[in-house]
Structure 1
Amino acid sequence: MTRPRISARISAISESATLAVDAKAKAMKAAGRPVIGFGAGEPDFPTPDYIVAAAVEACGNPRFHKYTPAGGLPELKQAIADKTRRDSGFEVDASRVLVTNGGKQAVYEAFATLLDPGDEVLVVAPYWTTYPEAIKLAGGVQVDVPTDETTGYLASVDALEAARTERTKVLLFVSPSNPTGAVYSPAQVEEIGRWAAEHGLWVVTDEIYEHLVYGDTRFSSIATAVPELHDRVVVLNGVAKTYAMTGWRVGWLIGPSDVVKAATNLQSHATSNVSNVAQWAALTAVSGDLSAVARMREAFDRRRQTMVRMLNEIPGVVCPEPFGAFYAYPSVKGVLGKEIRGRRPSSSSELAELILEEAEVALVPGEAFGTPGYFRLSYALGDDDLAEGITRLGKLLSEAR
């Protein structure tokens, strides 16, 4: 009997579609093609100088040349607890914080710690590409709760209740949302949180985009809005988006003591401590003020308005206004099936390929986020590139017949 070379568990994992699109765009640019990429979910700003300076200082400190506690530097854990209280009003002890290698490790460890095979997780679609893989690796079963542009990509309590079964253990709650930019109002957050508490569900809430909201929109943490959830809520966050630190790989998980202890045990065998230099830089970031993100948010807001306006001027494209994060999620269903330069794409995936080849614009199709017929475009890129990229997109799609 010939055994498979790769385990079934790992073979079932899909490549990150967002990273794949970004890599392809960069490869084409390196080959001399003027590709404009809307795929990557990272700020186009450098990490602030004072954070970089802290990292340089840490490099020279012999303390950081050795192993440190697997769960995180004590000073950073305390700073994260203080930052959480300051920014969302959620009171936590430093012992309930686990510092992880980026937000993705926090996502994986949360589901690995909470789920047994067959446990169901309610996931609002569209969803970020990593969630399904983390749930699958933990043996969980993802149950989609579909939304679309007519609802602003927001799920109602009625829709969540319709998807709940006796096997449902976790609600994954994401606001602001990647990929849609949707933000639940404080009233909606409280309503959903009370529903989850009433049914004894765990809530895993990803708050990585908490500081990227626009206009009169307010971020509200479900952990703060519904105190009854405190013993059944896991908060995921990190420095990547707020401080333009995607490459530094520092995230965290906040939860009940038993969950954090179990997740720390897992991390102690998987990776041990996060890079000490990156942790010290993160300590400086979360301990400081939010002036850096304020400057980025102003630029993102300007680009957001430009992108939404230009997308909605393209025939067959419908783009709801995103109120958070740095993504737009337009429907392109009105373009599918039409002929464009001798081809007739029937899916957003096929259309994305055509756009990359013909217009040299890279974007991520909705198939990656569980909702075919859409694109995700990041507006975390320069104003000129954004305008040029959407202009190219509009010119190509205007040829659809």
Structure 2
Amino acid sequence: MKLSNRVLQMEESVTLAANARAKELMAQGKDILSLTLGEPDFPTPENIRQAAIEAIRDGKASFYTVTSGLPELKAAIVNYFANYYGYGIESNQVLVATGAKFCLYSFFMSVIDPGDEVLIPTPYWVSYADQIKMAEGRPVFVEGKEENQFKVTVDQLEAARTAKTKVLVLNTPSNPTGMIYTAEELLAIGNWAVAQDILILADDIYGRLVYNGHEFTPISSLSEAIRKQTLVINGVSKTYSMTGWRIGYAVGEPELIQAMSKVAGQTTSNPTTAAQYAAIEALTGSQEPFETMRQAFEERLNTIYPLLAEVPGFEVVKPQGAFYLFPNVEKAMAIKGYTDVTAFTQAILEEVGLALVTGAGFGAPKNVRLSYATDMASLKEAIKRLQKFMKD
């Protein structure tokens, strides 16, 4: 069978690959502790689950909705933006899709022509680059230096810009680093993008998961000009512990949303109807379960961060949001005789049963990612295993 060049050139998601390997070893009866996937360990709150059950019982979940999402869910997103973004939007500016990942895909398919370039600050979430390639665009990586909290500057972006630059991807708080751009940094970047007529893809999926007094500023909230240049990606997966429900949404100019809806119409059609009713409750119901979860993540971060920093050769910048730690392990690799971070990560898995994610897939060949979206006991055990690995 001759497969397409498109799929042959596609990289496998390193996060999913790491999790799959961990599960494979678990199935063999081995004691494996996995900190690979970026999903909360809390169950979806009861009120949200109940909303889906009621929709099913009432027969409302049995049928297609319009491709771009239930009008009631769009209305909830409009209200959510007024509350958490501080500006008004209309329902024709909203696309609800099968996960935030599909929102990203439909965006790239809607705006990228062959040869168009997309600026991606590194470290970056693993799927950006391959989705751009699927749309026949070219990812252009701009290094977010560790000494600048893994963030890029306008000068760096301008140096990378060419006549073919079409889009800037901006993810804050960041997966994998957990770092947050300040309002001043975002205003400078936003004004630069407007001046250069570059679209901004604002991946805000971790926007409410911030800790220790840090604040998230949506770049789309800084000016009308920046807002018109920006497509916001968000969803219920991380904030409401709903990764399995697969509901994401995009907010932008009506012309762009209509184009993205066309892509959805020829691929997924509408997202699962019952999940949409659950998302309505997530956005409009009690926010107390979210805050309980956020506080738990903050406690885990503040407990585990100093312990990880004590592991020989692990150097880590304390994150401000999301739920990942992204230590630099260059010195640790040298201690253990490794030069390749993927091989180093694999050795940790095989020798002490701890599954982490190689930084290579995030554009960071000196780092590893671990998720602290799991219970405290498991996190402390993970540190013990790392200590053992480094001392053996």
With the length of structure 1 as denominator, give the TM-score of the two structures: 0.95
User: Is structure 2 residue 341 aligned with structure 1 residue 348?
Assistant: yes
- 1:121 deviation in Å? 0.7
1:1-400 → structure 2 map (5 Å cutoff): 5-339=2-336, 344-399=337-392
Instruction: Classify the secondary structure of the residue corresponding to 1:170.
Output: strand
Q: Deviations over 1:58-90 (max 9, x none)?
A: 112333212210110010011111111211113
Q: Are the aligned partners of 1:329 and 1:377 in contact in 2 as well (CA < 8 Å)?
A: yes
For the residues of structure 2 that align with 1:281 and 1:312, how far apart are their CA atoms?
40
For the residues of structure 1 that align with 2:390 and 2:146, how far apart are their CA atoms?
20
Instruction: Classify the secondary structure of the residue corresponding to 1:64.
Output: coil
Q: Is 125-134 or 288-297 further displaced after alignment? A: 288-297
Q: Are the aligned partners of 2:145 and 2:152 in contact in 1 as well (CA < 8 Å)?
A: no
Q: Are the aligned partners of 1:364 and 1:376 in contact in 2 as well (CA < 8 Å)?
A: yes
- 1:157 deviation in Å? 1.3
For the residues of structure 2 that align with 1:63 and 1:358, how far apart are their CA atoms?
51
- 1:289 deviation in Å? 3.6
Q: Are the aligned partners of 2:140 and 2:160 in contact in 1 as well (CA < 8 Å)?
A: yes
Aligned residue pair count? 392
RMSD of aligned residue pairs (Cα, Å): 1.2
Q: Are the aligned partners of 1:331 and 1:375 in contact in 2 as well (CA < 8 Å)?
A: yes
Q: Deviations over 1:187-224 (max 9, x none)?
A: 11111111111111100000000110011211000101
Q: Are the aligned partners of 2:313 and 2:335 in contact in 1 as well (CA < 8 Å)?
A: no
Q: Is 300-309 or 116-125 further displaced after alignment? A: 300-309
Instruction: Classify the secondary structure of the residue corresponding to 2:333.
Output: coil
Runs (4 or more) in structure 1 with deviation over 3 Å come to: none
Q: Is 271-280 or 304-313 further displaced after alignment? A: 304-313
Percent identity for Structure 1 against Structure 2 = 40
Instruction: Classify the secondary structure of the residue corresponding to 1:334.
Output: helix
For the residues of structure 1 that align with 2:264 and 2:317, how far apart are their CA atoms?
39
For the residues of structure 2 that align with 1:211 and 1:71, how far apart are their CA atoms?
24
For the residues of structure 2 that align with 1:109 and 1:213, how far apart are their CA atoms?
28
- 1:31 deviation in Å? 2.6
Q: Are the aligned partners of 1:363 and 1:376 in contact in 2 as well (CA < 8 Å)?
A: yes
Q: Are the aligned partners of 1:186 and 1:218 in contact in 2 as well (CA < 8 Å)?
A: no
Q: Are the aligned partners of 2:36 and 2:370 in contact in 1 as well (CA < 8 Å)?
A: yes
- 1:165 deviation in Å? 1.2
Q: Are the aligned partners of 1:316 and 1:332 in contact in 2 as well (CA < 8 Å)?
A: yes
Q: Are the aligned partners of 2:219 and 2:227 in contact in 1 as well (CA < 8 Å)?
A: no
For the residues of structure 1 that align with 2:49 and 2:103, how far apart are their CA atoms?
23
For the residues of structure 1 that align with 2:319 and 2:27, how far apart are their CA atoms?
32
For the residues of structure 2 that align with 1:381 and 1:90, how far apart are their CA atoms?
34
For the residues of structure 2 that align with 1:226 and 1:292, how far apart are their CA atoms?
32
Instruction: Classify the secondary structure of the residue corresponding to 1:22.
Output: helix
Query: What letter corresponds to residue 25 of structure 2 in structure 1?
Result: M
Query: What letter corresponds to residue 298 of structure 1 in structure 2?
Result: Q
Structure 2: gaps of 5 or more residues: none
Q: Are the aligned partners of 1:90 and 1:223 in contact in 2 as well (CA < 8 Å)?
A: no
Q: Are the aligned partners of 2:208 and 2:239 in contact in 1 as well (CA < 8 Å)?
A: yes
Instruction: Classify the secondary structure of the residue corresponding to 2:60.
Output: helix
Q: Is 228-237 or 245-254 further displaced after alignment? A: 228-237
- 1:338 deviation in Å? 3.5
- 1:337 deviation in Å? 3.6
Q: Is 33-42 or 305-314 further displaced after alignment? A: 305-314
Query: What letter corresponds to residue 380 of structure 2 in structure 1?
Result: A
Q: Are the aligned partners of 1:111 and 1:134 in contact in 2 as well (CA < 8 Å)?
A: yes
Q: Deviations over 1:90-111 (max 9, x none)?
A: 3210111010001110111111
Q: Are the aligned partners of 1:211 and 1:293 in contact in 2 as well (CA < 8 Å)?
A: no
Q: Is 59-68 or 373-382 further displaced after alignment? A: 59-68
- 1:185 deviation in Å? 1.1
Structure 1: gaps of 5 or more residues: none
